[in-house]
Amino acid sequence: MTALTRRLLLALAALLLTAAPVAAGGPAPLILVSIDGFRADYIGRGITPTLAALAEEGAWATEGMRPSFPSNTLPNHYTLVTGLRPDHHGITDNTLFDAARPGVKFSMGARDQVEDRFWWDGGEPVWVTAERAGMKTATTFWPGSEAAVRGVRPTTWFPYDEALSAFDRVDRLLGWLDLPEAERPGFMTLYFEAVDTQGHRFGPDSPELNQALRGVDAALARLVAGLKARGLYDRINLVVVADHGMAGTSPERVVFVDDITPLDSFTVVTMGWTASLIPRTPQAEAALVGKHPHFECWRKGEMPARLGYGTHPRIPPIICLSQTGWVVTTRARYAERPMTRVGGSHGADPHDPAMRALFIARGPGLRPGSRLPVFDNVSVYPLVMTLLGLTAQPNDGDPAATAAALR
């Protein structure tokens, strides 16, 4: 075989691959990617060329996307795929209690609870609606996808495994696209946690954070290259989001709730930039509610309207929100886990620009070069459902917020 013949055959193969149907008469497949903790302005650092190219080619919220309250991981990941605020879907924070399960604590590390639909059934995520409509779905580590939500699981899903490398996660997804057409998913997810992890450990301005940015961009470059090699880059909708941003912490910015009321007068549910408490006495409640140096506490039914939070039964009676950068904790907790260096966190007011999250979308359903103003992340869901040709469930999103992104 001559070199010319070989090149002709390769060109013909590429043409046939490009012409091959991705889905039989249906909408373009969609890949939803989460880069946990990718603050919107990180893209301006010039070290994520793949993301920058996707942003230039597709739809991009140039100033970022506003998370829901609280600006933490589990609540916002579930908001992105249900279009419901945490106050409505029930994953009201990373740690939960529910009166229907006395003595049981839901947390990110509690495997038995993460896989229990009880906690997740307050919302219907994209993959459940898709599966019911006959579309195969496949998820990699998206919060909620490890449970049979409303009795339905993705066709393919995996328990969270931080040890699985970013490249291996990408290769797994590309393998789904190599399946026979009848088995190929129409909706897929990826999840990367390294940016959030390094942001917490070393802070948003650290070399370690920048190295994590380079790593996740390399993984996305691998994804783009794999799509191009399969003739699918222009035939699949790719939506890249983050759950929240990140801001710096310091051992010099810590406040203690038990300086206001004795430690035995309340029960801690969560601590951090958002703290949730159960007062044990009317006196403790009265002492907690109000403004304090660097944080403020409210009764759950009296929270500011801008936060869209305070009605769900799982929300504790008292919610405190700190000034960005200040950690709310107790002296006992701090003694157990002292802050010894500058780091980073989230959970601050979603209206703080430091909490804004990445949003980029590119593909046949998206308008090239479209630019979106800051919008609430509840509006990602109706966009995704439109791109998938699925009927959205009742949600808090505004289709008009992302309408300019659609062709």
Structure tokens at 349: 């007011």
Active-site option among 73, 156, 189, 274: 73
**Residue located via tokens 């998820």:** 139
Give 245-268 pLDDT, tens digit per residue: 999 999 999 999 999 999 999 999
Instruction: Tell me the CATH number at 297.
Output: 3.30.1360.180
* Residue 289 included in any domain: yes
Is residue 18 part of the annotated active site? The answer reads no
- For residues 66 and 207, membership in a common domain is answered with yes
Residue-wise pLDDT tens for the chain (407 aa)? 444 333 333 333 333 333 333 444 579 999 999 999 999 999 999 999 999 999 999 999 999 999 999 999 999 999 999 999 999 999 999 999 999 999 999 999 899 999 999 999 999 999 999 999 999 999 999 999 999 999 999 999 999 999 999 999 999 999 999 999 999 999 999 999 999 999 999 999 999 999 999 999 999 999 999 999 999 999 999 999 999 999 999 999 999 999 999 999 999 999 999 999 999 999 999 999 999 999 999 999 999 999 999 999 999 999 999 999 999 999 999 999 898 889 999 999 999 999 999 999 999 999 999 999 999 999 999 999 999 999 999 999 999 999 999 99
Question: d(Cα 120, Cα 111) in Å, to the nearest integer?
Answer: 14
Q: How far apart are CA 232 and CA 154, in angstroms?
A: 22
CB atoms within 10 A of CB 100: 9
Beta-strand relationship, 65-66 and 375-376: parallel
Distance in angstroms (rounded) separating the CA atoms of residues 148 and 81: 15
The answer to whether the CB of 158 falls within 8 A of the CB of 141 is: yes
Statement to judge: residues 78 and 195 lie in one domain: yes
| Residue 197 domain flag | yes
Among residues 341, 364, 390, the one where a domain terminates is: 341
Q: Please count the structural domains in the chain.
A: 2
Sequence letter at residue 24: A
| Residue 162 and residue 48 share a domain | yes
Residues 141 and 91 in one domain: yes
Q: Are residues 63 and 146 in the same domain?
A: yes
- 73 within 8 A of 65, measured Cβ to Cβ: no
CB 344 within 8 A of CB 354: no
pLDDT per position as a tens digit, 25-75? 579 999 999 999 999 999 999 999 999 999 999 999 999 999 999 999 999
At residue 306, the 3 state secondary structure works out as helix
In whole angstroms, give the CA distance from residue 146 to residue 139. Answer: 9
pLDDT score for 1: 42
Both 239 and 272 in a single domain?
Answer: no
Q: Are 89 and 122 a contacting pair, CB within 8 Å?
A: yes
Range of the domain at 333: 251-341
Together in a domain, 63 and 207: yes
The model's pTM is 0.93
**Residue 123 DSSP symbol:** S
Q: Residues 236, 273: one domain?
A: no
Distance in angstroms (rounded) separating the CA atoms of residues 341 and 201: 9
User: Are 286 and 144 contained in the same domain?
Assistant: no
Tens digit of each residue's pLDDT (9 = 90 or more) over 373-397: 999 999 999 999 999 999 999 999 9
Q: What is residue 9's predicted lDDT score, i.e. its pLDDT? A: 37
Determine the pLDDT at residue 389: 98
The CATH number of the domain holding residue 160 is 3.40.720.10
Task: Choose one of 309, 341, 373: the last residue of a domain.
Answer: 341
Residue 371 lies in a domain: yes
CB-CB neighbours of 12 under 10 Å? 10
- Per the DSSP assignment, residues forming a β-bridge with 291 are 296
